[in-house]
Amino acid sequence: MNYRHFVLIGAMAVSVPALAQEVTFKIAHFLPSAAPTQQKVLQPWCEEMGKLSSGRIKCQFYPAMQLGGTPAQLADQVKNGVADVVWTGPGYSAGRFPAIEAFELPFMVKDSTSSSKALWTYYQQHAQQEFAAYKVLAFHTDGGQAVHTASKQIAGLTGFAGLKLRTSTRVGAKTLAALGGQPVAMPPAQVTEAIAKGVVDGSLGAWELVYPTKLSEVTKFHLQPDNGVAYPTATVLAVLMNKQKYDGLPADLKAIVDKTTGEAMVGKFGAMFDEVAADTRKRIAAQGNKITTLSATQVTAMKQATASVEDEWAKQVSEKGLDGKKLIAAARELTGTSK
């Protein structure tokens, strides 16, 4: 074997691993592994990337905060490389991502499909700067938060008075307080036990959460607006990727990540959350729970009661150099909602 053969073999040894680089994404989130987010969106996404990459992209899931910390720390975990990808609510880190909070304002979100599409457009136009440290894969909403209570049925605006309810974001907490309720912040995993022990009377939460967090076992009453009417509050959710992890991928694997995320992933989250919401309502009704729908009159009264939340939010974000009123107007135009 002469020198040229050695050079050729050496070049092949270097080029083959470079061409066939494999990668495993560590994916973390705050719900159990059985949650629809993992089962119906994130796992199928990983399977799709696996097929498109001939098995070179793999995923390892860390549900229910298995990497430690709290849901509020997921944004830092992915930024610092503890996880490669996270699914989280930016609003869990109170005040850190102010522009995106506009979609959590009172009566902004009617469903997940339309509002998630609107949110993705809004992010591209108004909120890219505050997520510059991440590779953003998707944004979506939870479709709006219904009110789930253990023993007290809420009848309109006055029914919130004195009720202790779990809220997921600071905007949601302010909305509940404006309605006369007492907001209590806690991670989703703690809610069911807190209701069972009487620490809280119930929870604001998307229908998607009801079975994964076992809210179905401790609540009997549920309050929601009519179809096509916006919910009192909603949660913005995001799939964020570590920027260095993405930047270090070979071009062909980057292309696969890009092809399977963004608008495509936003659409899948929106459809899934609405589908699960409809299915959950059927299951909840079948087990004998009572679902109350807010009347148009009640919604109008609740909008008036929560108007101050929007005004206060606009002032607060303006202090951070953002045009709060402009952001609200943009969000309302995109979602087709009015104050």
Domain locations in the chain as residue ranges: 23-143+236-277, 146-233+288-335
| Averaged pLDDT for residues 201-211 | 96
**What pLDDT sits at residue 190?**
93
Helices (H) and strands (E) in the chain, counts: 12, 11
Q: Do domains 23-143+236-277 and 146-233+288-335 have the same CATH topology?
A: yes
pLDDT exceeds 70 at position 238: yes
Q: What percentage of the chain reaches a pLDDT higher than 70?
A: 94
3-state SS class at 223? strand
**What pLDDT sits at residue 16?**
46
**String of DSSP letters for 19-67:** HT--EEEEEE-SS-TTSHIIIIIIHHHHHHHHHHTTT-EEEEEE-TTTT
Pick the closest to residue 260 from 87, 40, 42 (CA basis): 42
pTM value surpassing 0.85: yes
**What pLDDT sits at residue 187?**
87
| Averaged pLDDT for residues 17-33 | 87
CATH topology for the 23-143+236-277 domain: D-Maltodextrin-Binding Protein; domain 2 (3.40.190)
Cβ contacts of residue 44 below 8 Å, gap of 6+? 268
CB–CB of 169/186 below 8 Å?
no
Confidence of residue 155 (pLDDT cuts 50, 70, 90): confident
Average pLDDT of every residue of the chain: 94
CATH topology for the 146-233+288-335 domain: D-Maltodextrin-Binding Protein; domain 2 (3.40.190)
Instruction: Provide the H-helix boundaries in 38-160.
Output: 43-52, 74-79, 112-122
**What pLDDT sits at residue 78?**
98
Ramachandran area for residue 240 (φ above 0: left; ψ -120 to 50: alpha; else beta):
beta
Q: Which amino acid is at 280?
A: T
End-to-end CA distance of the chain: 80
Ramachandran area for residue 94 (φ above 0: left; ψ -120 to 50: alpha; else beta):
beta
Q: What is the pLDDT of residues 103-140, one digit of tens each?
A: 999 999 999 999 999 999 999 999 999 999 999 999 99
